[in-house]
Structure formats: C-alpha cells, structure tokens
A and B are shown apart, each in its own frame.
Chain A
Amino acid sequence: MYVGKPIKRIEDSKFLTGRSTYVDDIEFPGTLFVAFLRSVKPHAKIKIRKTSDNIFTGEDINPGSDFPIPVEETTYVGQPLAMVVARDRYEAYDLLESIEIEYEELPFVIDPQEALKNDVKVYTKKESNIYEYKKWEAGNTEESLKEADLVINGELYNQRVIANPLETRGILAHFDGNRLNVWSSTQSAHYLRRNLMNFLGIDNIRVIQPDVGGAFGSKIIAHPEEYAVAKLALKLKRPLKWIPTRSEEMQSAGHGRDKRLRFKVGVKRDGTILGIEGTIIADLGAPYPDANDDEIGNVHSTIRMMLGPYRIQNVKIEEYAVNTNKAPTQSYRGAGRPEATYFIERIINIISLELGKDEFDIRERNLIRELPYKNALGITYDSGDYMGLLNKAREYYQSLKKEANVDECVGSSMYVEITAFGPWETARILAKSDGKIIIITGSGPHGQGDGTAFAQIVADVLEVPIENIEVRWGDTDIISDGIGTWGSRTLTIGGSAMYKAAEELKRRLIEVSAKMLNADAEEIEYKNGIFSHKKSGKSITLKEVIQNAYSMGYSLDVTYVYNVTKPGYTVPYGVHMALVKVDKETGSVRVRKYVALDDVGKVVNPLLAEGQIIGGAVQGIGQAIYEEAIYSKEGYLLNSNLTDYGFPTAMEVPRIEWHYIEKGLSSHPTNSKGIGEAGAIASTPAVINAIEKCIGKRILKMPTKLEEVI
C-alpha cells in the first residue's frame, strides 16, 4: 500500500536539476514581449494617444466597455490601461514611457465604510458601490442577547494582504493559423480555456498550464492582462509573451481578505454563547467582474463558517460587499474561511479573557457534540470527533504552556473548514501497449504535490509499483475537461476521479484476462500484477493482458468524471496553538513554537500533508505579524514590493509540530478531506490570541504593530 505513506514526490526531479518549465521559460521564434501601462490614478476618465502602431488600448480589446481594459474610465491604481508590443522586455518598457495619457481625475473612495454610503461612486457607470447587501439570520438573536449575562461589543479587522506567489502571473499566446494556443501561469488550464472562449467568442483554443510557481488563489481567475494578450495574439498573429514585474504584480493582483466585523456577542457567565449579531463589510476593490464573482463567494464563506465548531443557534449578520477604488480582491489561501475562523476564534479569546475562563473550557462548553451537524446558516459538518480532538489538543496546549517563559504566551484556535468543492473532476488513465500506465488529471496542481498522491492511489488500485505510473496534467488537449486546483479539492475530488478511473481500468483488464484464460470475469483473481484463473490455476501477467487487449480490440483508455454530490464539500477541523514571545520594550513579536493538530480524514501522504500545513501556517503567521497591503488616502499602494511588504523569511519561522488523527473520514472514495488551506486558516487567530494575552489589551487589527504592542 502506498496510500498513507510519506512517499517522496515523484515530480521533484526536474525542479531539483533546473529542468522545470515555467511560462517565462517557453520561447517561440519571433516571440514579442508585451507590457502594460498602468493607471496612476484611483479614479479618472482617461484619454490615451497612440504614438506608435505598437500601442494598443481598451478599444482594441473590449470596445465600448471598461473591463477587462478600460476604454474611458479607470477605477484603481495599477489597472492595466494600454499595452505595448516590442521585441523584448527592455524595449517594451522603453516604449511604455512614450505613451501619452490624459487623466481627468474623478472623486474616489478607498475606505469601504465610506464607499457604502454611496456619496462617491467607485465607477460612474454603476448604480451603487454596494455589490451585494444581504441579511443572514437564524434563531432569535435579539432575545438571546437579552438573556445574556454579558454582551461583548467589538470590532475586528482582517486586513488586506497579497498572495505573492514567487512566480508572478504570465502568459504566452500564439495563434498558429488554426487555433489559439495559450500557456499561462494559472490554476487551471480548462477553466482559463472556458474564460477565454467566452471572452473571445471562439472555441478553438488550447490552454496549457506549464510548471507554475505557486498561486495561493491568485491565479484562479482570468486576469485582464490574460484576456488582453489572448485577444492581441489573435489580432497580430505573432506569439506574444507577457510577464509582469513584481511591483506590477503587487499593485494589481493577489489581493485578498480585507473584511471587517462589528459584533455583539451574548454569553452566559459559564461561557455559553447565546447569540451573535453583527455587520460584515467586505472590500471587493474595483468592479472587475471576474474578481468580484470570485470574492463574493468568499464573503459568503466567511459568514456561513463564522459559527465555527460551536452550537450557536442565534445569529444575525448584515453583509455589505462593497466596491472601492483599490485593486480588486480575489481568493487568497482559505478564500473567506480564514476570516471566518479569525472572527469566531478571536471572539472566543475575548470571551475567555472577559470571563477569566480558560479558552478550552469556553470551546468545550459550546462545542458541537454530534456529527453530522448542520450549523444555523446551513453548512453541514459531516464527520469527526470534535470533542476528542479538543481534548487531545488540550494536552499539547498544557505542555506548550509549561514551555513558555515569562515573556511568552500561548494562544490557540479551533477551526472547521469546508473543502473539496464540486461540481466534478475528471481523471483519465491509459495503459500503453508496452505496459506503461499514464494518468492524467483534470485538476491543475501548482506545487501541492497531488501528482504523487494520485500515483499512490492508482498504484494501490492496480497493485503495481508506483514507478510504473506517469502523471500528467495541465493541457486541455490531453484530457476531455477539468475543473482545477483550489478549495483544497484536488486530492479528494481529483483523487476520487482517479480512484474510479483506475477501478474501471482494472475491471476492463479483468475482462480481457478472463477471455485470455477462457474464464468468466468472476473466476479471475487479481493480485500484484498477476491475473489467475481460480479453477485452473493458470495465470498471466498484467503486461501480457495489456498487450493482448490491444490485439483483441479493447480500449485501455478510461476517462472518469467524478461527480460531487450534495452538500458539495467535506469538513475537516483541528486545533492549532502558537507560543509567542513578546518583547514589550521593542514591541517585537515572534512565534517561537507552533503545534497543529488536524483531522483531515484519511491522510494519503503525511509528508506532503505536513508540507501543506507548514506552508499555510507560515502564511497565516505572516498575516498576523508582518503582512498588509497599505493604501494611502490618495489611493496608492504604499508597499508594492518585497522590500516594503513584510514577509517571513527563514529567520522568522517557528518550529512547527504537526499531529493528525483520522476520525472524520469523508464519504469520497479517497476518504480524505482537504488540507491545503487549513494552516492559513488556523494560524492567524492562534497567534493573535497569544499576543493578546501577553499584552493585556484587545487587538483590533493586524498585523500587530510594534507601537501597539509596547
């Protein structure tokens, strides 16, 4: 069995030897380089004068519309306004300097709380800055607050951060006379293809996702530049490449989070939470439809997951999702769920400090006792043992507390998280006549290592050495279709498709072997690559069966579409704990040790799962102590480079210990749940809760600033 073992990644060899191929590594003869002129005004009417034939504007891309490339009106600093095409990137950036652009400045609004008053329009052609207003209600919150011994008010801000994958976005588009070929640093070739088809109105498009240097949610949507370059490639019939600089990337992509909660929570003396009332304001940034569509789903996730693993029956949340004149927000690792966990786990910490009660006691008192459980806002938590895990976590918590020195505190958070979204995913498996087995997924891994996990799953089903299996993905030509890699779905949904495809292949092989052995399929026993006839004792090898299948006219090429049934997600949970050191003299904060305990169902590969937890936890710690996209009042992003934007280096990361239990299996064939985002969800509140204890005052926003800690 490979499943469950810490199998080393089969993908690694090319990365370790410098033979990987990211989008900027691909070249065609005659490739031209594209660069974008970006808005320096948060809101303005624009007029662009083309001083050369190599300059293109919104008119060339989307005449009559301001999205993806504005024709008349720009709505954020960093928005692409015009593009140039040149022989190389040096000349392209020279040419950018020559573009003549006139801005007629318009009033703008940066603060979402101002924006929702609608005094100043983010975009003059939109009725309202409020993208969505909604009330979320269950139970009787007013009553519950009246019955409470204590009502705590507060305001929490989960600030805007930037995903910053180490490789930026980038695209190479090439019309070959017949169809458009697109290579992009994206999270899904198939999804990008669908987006481009809709935009361009043609269907002969092939998209390839080459190696991708991370994404963390920032490369799900099709970006304005991707649409524009694709369109221009059709027009110019030359291969076009676009790779932004890091500063451009930070100004224009990967912005996430940015949600505020004003809340009232009613509790009894014993810590029972009776009800929560509040208002959520989510800043969507500028009205770029692809990003807004993406982020609005995340806003809903924030609200629906805000009840955490607790039996809170009374809830009333007013939601405002608001446009502002900032870069549009998108999914960022966790995509709405980190904010949810942040809000509720901060509230738990505040309750525990107000009541002078241990945070684990507060959790225990309110914890869901029986699963499955449908929370008051309709999310079904499917399986697991919340209390068992909480108790186990308590032991780690106690021993962490023992380790803490006088200037150190331990904080914790418990999360539940929705993962493995549908609607479906594909897998294709084929056996070559020489015996080689090739598996292809419709998802689009970009660092997470799912290729190895898929090979483990298939090797187990087919009972073959993992070395016999080759894994591929990321080309719309090699598999019928696909969804993509996000929502911590790949291993579970993509893996279940893979599992089913492998089973179907095995079924066919048994059928072939039965014919070869003059037996009925039921009489065949398959074990470790050998098919035997139970009665006659005769046997043949997998390789022979595969070879013969071809001669007998059987296809050994199986595509399986795994359809995700209701509720369309599965729910892992866990408790994370952080030991932080706070220097009250200098205000510096450092996480010294971190312990995570998760139940993500069946762990297919603990080495890779742990890698996901550590990576996610460090990003969440980054949000707590270092990172923030800071906008000036004038609408400029003040820290659009890696020097000014704080980011943890190897110096800052704590030791991280990861533990797991496998109590809450999912109902998918893999029995797994997603883990890709859990670390980033749980770590931020765990760290802030610890700091809050140490400094003895409430923390309202992040990152914790030196001057606020002192």
Chain B
Amino acid sequence: MKVYSPNEKTVIRLRINGQIYETEITPRKLLVEVLRELGFKSVHIGCDTSQCGACTVILNDRSVKSCTVLGIEADGSDIITLEGLAKDGMLHPIQEAFWETHALQCGYCTPGMILEAYWLLKEKPNPTEEEIREGISGNLCMCTGYLNIIKAIKRASEIISTKKS
C-alpha cells in the first residue's frame, strides 16, 4: 500500500483526451485543479460543495465531478474533457446541437453540461424529456433556464441515431 504524506509530491499519470500526461502533485490537490493546471481550462469551478457540475469530466467512462476527486485518486485513469470532444475539427453532434438550439449563454456551465450529455447519451441513446432533465440535474446553469439545453440533448440524440443508421 502506498502511503502519502501531506507535503510530499507524487507523480501521477493520466490519459487525457487520448494523450498521456505525467505530473507531480501533493495528495490534497483536487483533480479539477490538476486538469486546469495541465491546460484543460474548459474544466470549470462553479462551487465548493459538489453541487454545480461545472467541473464534470468523463473519468473511466463515467461522468464525474472532478472537484470531488483527488488528483492522486485519479492516477492511471482515462479522462475526457471538452477539449477532446471535437474530432478532426468536426464538432461532436452534441456541440452542434448546443449551437443550433442556443443552449448556452455565458458558456461557463457548457463544458460540464456537454460532457454530462455525452455520458447520458452513451447510457441512453434515446432519452425521454424526463430522463434528460434528470440526467442533467447535477449540472446547474444560471443563464439558460435549461430548456434549450434539454432541446439540444434531444436533438443530439436524433443526429447521433440518424448517423448510425
């Protein structure tokens, strides 16, 4: 068993958006800070009580609030942030749909919201409105009133399923 002492730095390895990163951190450092320091500034901080979801990332295929994970806990894990969602300069259908339906205003919740939607649509490719609402209930948005976000996610699910068929 590895024992961490408070001021001693440890090297952790993370696979972020397909690339390997190594960084040295103290045990108390939160994953959200680690990701931001590595340059993934789309991971935002909106609160200090794990409520808002602005820090949501995909960690080992699950959506996780990165403000509630220690950097050292995430050692060896695979992470997707918003920076990694567009492929070859093409927006992901969720990004497309957010744009089309005006599902963002200040944009601060948007990265977390899109990643939560990404995870939700993996779990449930054709969610009902209720399932979408519930699915993003861990993500606060102070600007949009959510309705266009709900619309965007519905729309994204349609785009994705027509692409598949």
Q: Is the CB of B137 within 8 A of A651?
A: yes
Q: Chain A residues near B44: list those with CB within 8 A.
A: 22, 166-167, 213
- Among B52, B82, B150, point to the contact of A166 (Cβ < 8 A): B52
Q: Chain B residues near A89: list those with CB within 8 A.
A: 33
Q: Is the CB of B132 within 8 A of A18?
A: no
Interface residues of A in 616-648 (CB under 8 A from B): 616-619, 641-643, 647-648
Q: Is the CB of B134 within 8 A of A614?
A: no
Interface residues of A in 146-171 (CB under 8 A from B): 164-167
Q: Is A608 part of the contact surface with B, judged by Cβ < 8 Å?
A: yes
- Among A21, A246, A449, A641, point to the contact of B105 (Cβ < 8 A): A449
Q: Is B148 part of the contact surface with A, judged by Cβ < 8 Å?
A: yes
- Among A14, A212, A641, point to the contact of B49 (Cβ < 8 A): A641
Q: Is the CB of B91 within 8 A of A17?
A: yes
- Among A447, A616, A643, A649, point to the contact of B107 (Cβ < 8 A): A447
Q: Is A478 part of the contact surface with B, judged by Cβ < 8 Å?
A: no
Given A166-B108, A167-B46, A247-B48, A653-B142 contact (CB < 8 Å): no
Q: Is the CB of A608 within 8 A of B48?
A: no
Q: How far is the CB of A30 from chain B (nearest CB, A)?
A: 15
Q: Chain B residues near A611: list those with CB within 8 A.
A: 102, 105, 144, 148
Given A167-B106, A614-B144, A16-B137 contact (CB < 8 Å): no
Q: Is B61 part of the contact surface with A, judged by Cβ < 8 Å?
A: no
Assembled-state Cα–Cα distance A243/B86 (Å): 30
Q: Is the CB of A650 within 8 A of B150?
A: yes
Q: Is A12 part of the contact surface with B, judged by Cβ < 8 Å?
A: yes
Assembled-state Cα–Cα distance A655/B130 (Å): 12
- Among B40, B51, B111, B137, point to the contact of A643 (Cβ < 8 A): B51
Q: Chain B residues near A8: list those with CB within 8 A.
A: 99-100, 102
Q: How far is the CB of A336 from chain B (nearest CB, A)?
A: 20
A interface secondary structure, majority: loop
- Among B40, B41, B138, point to the contact of A21 (Cβ < 8 A): B41
Closest A residue to B129 by beta carbon equals: A655
Q: Is B114 part of the contact surface with A, judged by Cβ < 8 Å?
A: yes
Q: How far is the CB of A541 from chain B (nearest CB, A)?
A: 30
Given A166-B140, A650-B132, A641-B51 contact (CB < 8 Å): yes
Q: Chain B residues near A20: list those with CB within 8 A.
A: 41-42, 107
How would residues 60 to 104 of chain B score, 1 for a CB under 8 Å from any chain A CB and 0 otherwise? 000000000000000000000111011000010001001110101
Interface residues of B in 108-158 (CB under 8 A from A): 108-111, 114, 132-134, 136-150
Q: How far is the CB of A687 from chain B (nearest CB, A)?
A: 14
Q: How far is the CB of A590 from chain B (nearest CB, A)?
A: 12
Q: How far is the CB of A356 from chain B (nearest CB, A)?
A: 35
Q: Is B29 part of the contact surface with A, judged by Cβ < 8 Å?
A: yes
Closest A residue to B107 by beta carbon equals: A15
Q: Is the CB of B45 within 8 A of A642?
A: no
Q: Is the CB of A167 within 8 A of B28?
A: no
Q: Is B31 part of the contact surface with A, judged by Cβ < 8 Å?
A: no
Given A246-B46, A642-B52, A649-B137, A164-B144 contact (CB < 8 Å): no
Q: Is the CB of B105 within 8 A of A643?
A: no
Interface residues of A in 637-688 (CB under 8 A from B): 641-643, 647-651, 653, 655-656
Assembled-state Cα–Cα distance A15/B110 (Å): 7
Q: In this complex, which of B26, B83, B104, B107 has the most chain A Cβ atoms within 10 angstroms of its Cβ?
A: B107
Q: How far is the CB of A607 from chain B (nearest CB, A)?
A: 5
Q: Chain A residues near B28: list those with CB within 8 A.
A: 90
- Among A21, A446, A651, A656, point to the contact of B106 (Cβ < 8 A): A446
Q: Is A565 part of the contact surface with B, judged by Cβ < 8 Å?
A: no
Q: How far is the CB of A230 from chain B (nearest CB, A)?
A: 23
Given A8-B102, A17-B91, A651-B134, A22-B108 contact (CB < 8 Å): yes
Q: How far is the CB of A6 from chain B (nearest CB, A)?
A: 8
Q: Is A50 part of the contact surface with B, judged by Cβ < 8 Å?
A: no
How would residues 411 to 450 of chain A score, 1 for a CB under 8 Å from any chain B CB and 0 otherwise? 0000000000000000000000000000000000011110
Q: Is the CB of B95 within 8 A of A615?
A: no
Q: Is the CB of A650 within 8 A of B47?
A: no
Assembled-state Cα–Cα distance A656/B150 (Å): 12
Closest A residue to B105 by beta carbon equals: A447
Q: Is A24 part of the contact surface with B, judged by Cβ < 8 Å?
A: yes
Q: How far is the CB of A223 from chain B (nearest CB, A)?
A: 18
Q: Is B58 part of the contact surface with A, judged by Cβ < 8 Å?
A: no
Assembled-state Cα–Cα distance A616/B105 (Å): 12
Q: How far is the CB of A422 from chain B (nearest CB, A)?
A: 25
Given A213-B108, A607-B102, A656-B147, A650-B142 contact (CB < 8 Å): no
Q: Is B14 part of the contact surface with A, judged by Cβ < 8 Å?
A: no
Assembled-state Cα–Cα distance A617/B148 (Å): 14
Assembled-state Cα–Cα distance A165/B104 (Å): 14
Q: Is A277 part of the contact surface with B, judged by Cβ < 8 Å?
A: no
Assembled-state Cα–Cα distance A619/B105 (Å): 14
Q: Is the CB of A649 within 8 A of B140?
A: yes
Q: Is the CB of B106 within 8 A of A16?
A: no
Q: Is A211 part of the contact surface with B, judged by Cβ < 8 Å?
A: yes
Q: How far is the CB of B69 from chain A (nearest CB, A)?
A: 16
Q: How far is the CB of A244 from chain B (nearest CB, A)?
A: 10
Q: In this complex, which of B82, B105, B138, B150 has the most chain A Cβ atoms within 10 angstroms of its Cβ?
A: B105
Closest B residue to A612 by beta carbon equals: B105
Given A18-B42, A18-B111, A614-B147 contact (CB < 8 Å): yes
Assembled-state Cα–Cα distance A12/B148 (Å): 14
Q: Is the CB of A447 within 8 A of B143?
A: yes
Q: Is A25 part of the contact surface with B, judged by Cβ < 8 Å?
A: yes
Closest B residue to A642 by beta carbon equals: B51
Q: Chain B residues near A650: list those with CB within 8 A.
A: 132-134, 136-137, 139, 141, 146, 149-150
Q: Chain A residues near B83: list those with CB within 8 A.
A: 17-19
Q: How far is the CB of B103 from chain A (nearest CB, A)?
A: 9
Assembled-state Cα–Cα distance A15/B98 (Å): 10
Q: Is the CB of B114 within 8 A of A653?
A: no
Interface residues of B in 19-45 (CB under 8 A from A): 26, 28-29, 33, 36, 40-42, 44-45
Q: Is A9 part of the contact surface with B, judged by Cβ < 8 Å?
A: yes
Q: Is A528 part of the contact surface with B, judged by Cβ < 8 Å?
A: no
Q: Chain B residues near A14: list those with CB within 8 A.
A: 107
Q: Chain A residues near B85: list those with CB within 8 A.
A: 17-18
- Among B48, B99, B142, B144, point to the contact of A216 (Cβ < 8 A): B142
- Among A17, A166, A655, point to the contact of B147 (Cβ < 8 A): A655
Q: How far is the CB of B67 from chain A (nearest CB, A)?
A: 10
Q: Is A214 part of the contact surface with B, judged by Cβ < 8 Å?
A: yes
Q: How far is the CB of B48 from chain A (nearest CB, A)?
A: 4
26 A–B pairs (Cβ distance < 8 Å), ordered by A? A12-B107, A16-B91, A16-B98, A17-B91, A89-B33, A166-B54, A166-B142, A211-B107, A214-B106, A246-B46, A246-B47, A246-B48, A246-B52, A446-B106, A447-B143, A611-B102, A615-B142, A615-B143, A642-B52, A643-B51, A648-B146, A650-B133, A650-B139, A650-B141, A650-B150, A656-B145
Q: Which 10 A-B pairs have the closest CB atoms?
A: A18-B42, A213-B108, A15-B107, A447-B106, A618-B145, A18-B82, A447-B105, A642-B51, A614-B145, A246-B47
Chain A residues proximal to chain B, CB less than 8 Å: 8-9, 12-22, 24-25, 89-90, 164-167, 211-214, 216, 243, 245-247, 446-449, 607-608, 610-611, 614-619, 641-643, 647-651, 653, 655-656
Having A247-B49, A642-B49, one finds 6 other A-B pairs with CB under 8 Å, namely: A9-B102, A25-B36, A25-B41, A213-B46, A449-B102, A647-B140
